[in-house]
Amino acid sequence: MNNKALFQKKIQSQFSGWKYSALVRFLLFVILTAVFYLALTNRMIPQTYDIQVGTTAEKNILAPRAIENAIATEKAKEEAAQHVQPVYRIVSLKNEQLIEAMFEKLQQINADSEVTLGDKVNIFKSVFPNLAQDHIDKQIQGYTASGQYNEPLLLEIRKKVSEQQYRIPEETFYKMPRLAKEDLTLMEPVSKEIVTKLMNDQILDAQTVRAKVAELVNSSTLTKSIAREMVQEIVRAAVTPNKFLDQKGTETAKGQARDNVKPVFINKNDVLVNKGDPITEEIYQRLSGLDMLQDESSFLPRIGLIILVLLFTLGVVMFVRRSALPIKSNNAQLLMLVLIIIMNILGMKLFSLVQNLDYPYIGLLAPAAMGAMLVAILLDANLAFFSAVLFSVMASMIFNTDHLQSFDFRYGLVTLVTSFAAIFSIQRASQRSSILKAGMAVALMGMLLLGSLLLIDDHESKRNMLFALSFIVGSGLLTAVFVIGLLPFFEAAFGILSPLKLVELSNPNHPLLRKLLTETPGTYHHSIMVGNLAETAAEAIGADGLLCRVGAYYHDIGKTKRPAYFIENQTNIENPHDKMDPALSKSIIVAHARDGVELLKEHHIPKPIRDIAEQHHGTTLLQFFYYKAKKIAEAANDPNPVEELDYRYPGPMAQSKEAAIVGIADCVEAAVRSLRSPNLEQIDSMVRKIIKGRLDDGQFNECDLTTKELDQIAKTLNETLLGIFHSRIEYPPTSLSTENQSAVVTK
């Protein structure tokens, strides 16, 4: 039987040895490095292929990322350019001035009496055809000098006006000399009015407009038929096109249309080359441009990535080594940190797989702040801040779709800010609902930051902005849901007592606390007092005050097995120890620590609280029963001496500051309560005597409590106890009615 017990103890020792094994620690960091590398390799390093022109593809070659389809993009640009309508310009050629020039010539030539009729006809034949052309040349020269219109447009104007120039019938020239001065005076304003009216429209084809001239002249105030006939011909000669094709403007518009076409992309994992397709020169050059061909330098990016992830791991190693937490040497906590990092990175990777061009911001839906929140709850806030920085760098690479650079700062910055918001929100959390509030803080801070970034970079469509903000809200909710779901797993698997779990265990409705209250009310009250004392003392030296308080609530739970044998529960009954052998009494008293541990195990209370219940007495001496046993032995002249070791608690001694503080508070509360009217000097003397006694007895040798911390604990306990046992005014019995006396006692 003894050999079997020794064998089991040896196996248990070897199994628990992994927690402090250097090899296990090294393997955990190796695993972490491998996770970093695998998470980033497909983002940072494209897959390469060993192929040559003329061979066939042995397997489907997929796009390593979203890449531009140059052929499809160029086709889309050409289609956009073809849909651009020709650009026309409306150019005023000042046709009213041409009318004035024509009538000026008519007045001048007809007024010269020395010129014969035949000569006048010949002059009109030579002058009028050139008059319109000279006017147009003059206008074009003016526009050329001013630079108002481009050269191709001016050439187009000259060409179109020349092509559509009106040829005045020859018989008209024979009729022009017959026009009297009075006729010309009446004809000129009518002609100018008709030309102005016609030229107000956009004229691409002058011939269609000239067909309207006869109707307008006939409806004018002119009465002579020759006058109306001459006005029709003069107006037709003066009418020109005023709407001209602007070739340069058209090309500019087509260029803008081409520029406005968004590039056509091949989505990530779309097939670039099907299995069995021949590798043409074009395909080979495309794959080469994407760095997908194996060559002598293809291994360099992998070396760079290995160096990068080693730096990540080195950062974790250095931060853990400089930590004051148990994670510095405890592989169990390191394993928990590694698992949190792996799960957080895995979550980001899963969301990056569905990231595409239609939903470019879907990566924001990933609960990237989950890891930092879990680290803050389960380990330490400072470690959580470091984890937040690490996760932000990873997010900027995992969700990067641009590939023009290695990082997308937007995802990194959003992850950093939301993780910090989660850490600040979850610190000192006391309820599970605090996690949901932290998730809302993540969503709010993410929306504010992302909204500012999108407003600064205002090229995004309203649709993408709406999706991005919706995704960040979803991220906050998912973060809260995953943390709430994962927290019990970590608490159970690693025996972690998070602040949230401790607050749950402090609920008076917990079955064990209700058992303590109903079966041992005196012990319950004592435990509550010890909890208050231990919490204030622990916080004074930077220990876990909440753990001390909750541990104190359960430290005497073993007394519920034999409540009547403990003095605080002996109300109106005789003390059974008065008639018992001191050795038996010792066994009953000592057993309450062991019974408490067994009861706590049955109710699955976490180990740190069980340790407090087991260690709060350490290996202290039960002095009352020891001296009673010695007195009985001396009276009976027993030759066998009473061994002090037989009247000590079995231990172990306190292994943590929290267990030691609960032990001090337990002893101090009971001792001070025994004083009739305690004052400051009595309390201080009692507290320091108890602490010194335990220190001299070596009860603090395994819990790292310093002398300075013990002195601070003594001061804090004195202040707290003085507040509890403060003096009250003694009222004369006759000064208060029975009802008022009851009220005073109640207070």
CATH code of the domain in which 400 resides = 1.10.1760.20
- What gap in Å lies between CA 669 and CA 179, rounded to an integer? 136
User: What is the per-residue pLDDT for 384?
Assistant: 92
When pLDDT is averaged across residues 390-400 and rounded to a whole number, the result is 90
pLDDT band at 5 (very low <50, low <70, confident <90, very high): very low
Residue 553 lies in a domain: yes
Give yes or no: residues 207 and 326 share one domain: no
DSSP 293: B
Q: Tens of pLDDT along 435-467?
A: 888 899 999 999 999 888 888 876 667 777 888
Question: Above 50 in pLDDT, residue 737?
Answer: no
Query: Based on the number of CB atoms within 10 Å of its own CB, is 226 exposed (0-12), middle (13-18) or buried (19 or more)?
Result: middle
Q: Which of 55-59, 477-481, 718-722 is predicted least confidently?
A: 55-59
Query: Do the strands 243-245 and 88-90 form a parallel or antiparallel pair, or are they unpaired?
Result: antiparallel
Percentage of the chain beyond pLDDT 90 is 29
User: What is the per-residue pLDDT for 111?
Assistant: 84
Give yes or no: residues 679 and 701 share one domain: yes
Q: Tens of pLDDT along 625-681?
A: 888 888 888 887 877 888 888 889 998 999 999 999 999 999 998 888 877 777 888
pLDDT band at 733 (very low <50, low <70, confident <90, very high): very low
Give yes or no: residues 632 and 718 share one domain: yes
pLDDT band at 16 (very low <50, low <70, confident <90, very high): low
Give yes or no: residues 224 and 176 share one domain: yes
pLDDT band at 741 (very low <50, low <70, confident <90, very high): very low
pLDDT band at 569 (very low <50, low <70, confident <90, very high): confident
Residue 175 lies in a domain: yes
* Nearest one of 193, 238, 240, 237 to 217, comparing CA atoms: 193
* Nearest one of 398, 399, 411, 483 to 440, comparing CA atoms: 483
CB-hemisphere CA count at 13 Å for 292? 20
Task: Give the distance from CA 195 to its chain's centroid.
Answer: 70
Give yes or no: residues 460 and 512 share one domain: no
DSSP 732: P
Q: Any idea how long the chain is?
A: 747
- Residues facing 265 on adjacent strands: 68
- What gap in Å lies between CA 620 and CA 690, rounded to an integer? 11
User: What is the per-residue pLDDT for 359?
Assistant: 65
Question: Above 50 in pLDDT, residue 734?
Answer: no
In a 3-state reduction of DSSP, which class is residue 408? coil
- What gap in Å lies between CA 446 and CA 365, rounded to an integer? 11
| Residue reference for tokens 């007809």 | 110
Cis peptide bond prior to 177, omega within 30° of 0: no
Give yes or no: residues 255 and 358 share one domain: no
Last residue of a domain, one of 462, 492, 522: 492
Domain CATH number, residue 691: 1.10.3210
| Residue reference for tokens 């003397």 | 685
- Residues facing 61 on adjacent strands: 273
User: What is the per-residue pLDDT for 482?
Assistant: 93
Q: Tens of pLDDT along 577-625?
A: 888 888 898 898 999 999 999 999 999 888 889 999 999 999 999 888 8
User: What is the per-residue pLDDT for 327?
Assistant: 86
Query: Do the strands 88-90 and 265-266 form a parallel or antiparallel pair, or are they unpaired?
Result: unpaired
User: What is the per-residue pLDDT for 269?
Assistant: 63
- Asked if residues 131 and 102 have their Cβ atoms less than 8 Å apart, the reply is yes
Residue 369 lies in a domain: yes
**Which amino acid makes up residue 77?**
K
| Residue reference for tokens 């969503």 | 443
User: What is the per-residue pLDDT for 356?
Assistant: 63
Q: Tens of pLDDT along 194-241?
A: 888 988 888 888 888 888 888 888 888 888 888 888 888 888 888 888
- What gap in Å lies between CA 451 and CA 201, rounded to an integer? 50
Last residue of a domain, one of 492, 513, 546: 492
User: What is the per-residue pLDDT for 429?
Assistant: 60
| Residue reference for tokens 């102005």 | 196
- Asked if residues 554 and 600 have their Cβ atoms less than 8 Å apart, the reply is yes
Last residue of a domain, one of 492, 513, 529: 492
Give yes or no: residues 521 and 648 share one domain: yes
User: What is the per-residue pLDDT for 284?
Assistant: 73
3-state class percentages of the chain: helix first, strand second, coil last, to nearest 5: 70, 5, 30
Give yes or no: residues 541 and 685 share one domain: yes
pLDDT band at 717 (very low <50, low <70, confident <90, very high): very high
- Asked if residues 637 and 605 have their Cβ atoms less than 8 Å apart, the reply is no
Q: Tens of pLDDT along 339-372?
A: 999 999 999 999 888 776 566 788 888 999 999 9
Give yes or no: residues 554 and 464 share one domain: no
Task: Give the chain's mean pLDDT.
Answer: 83
pTM here? 0.60
**Residue 651: both structure tokens together:** 């231990």
- What gap in Å lies between CA 183 and CA 418, rounded to an integer? 90
**Residue 112: both structure tokens together:** 């010269």
Number of structural domains the chain divides into: 5
Give yes or no: residues 463 and 485 share one domain: yes
pLDDT band at 109 (very low <50, low <70, confident <90, very high): confident
Give yes or no: residues 220 and 284 share one domain: no
- Asked if residues 686 and 718 have their Cβ atoms less than 8 Å apart, the reply is no
Question: How many other C-beta atoms lie within 10 A of the C-beta of residue 731?
Answer: 11
Residue 44 lies in a domain: no
Residue 178 lies in a domain: yes
* Nearest one of 28, 11, 655 to 331, comparing CA atoms: 28
Residue 37 lies in a domain: no
Give yes or no: residues 132 and 168 share one domain: yes
E strand or H helix that includes residue 243: strand 243-245
- The whole domain housing 62 covers 49-69+267-289
- Higher local confidence (pLDDT), 405 or 71: 71
Question: Above 70 in pLDDT, residue 7?
Answer: no
Residue 408 lies in a domain: yes
**Rg from Cα positions in the chain:** 50
Residue 298 lies in a domain: no
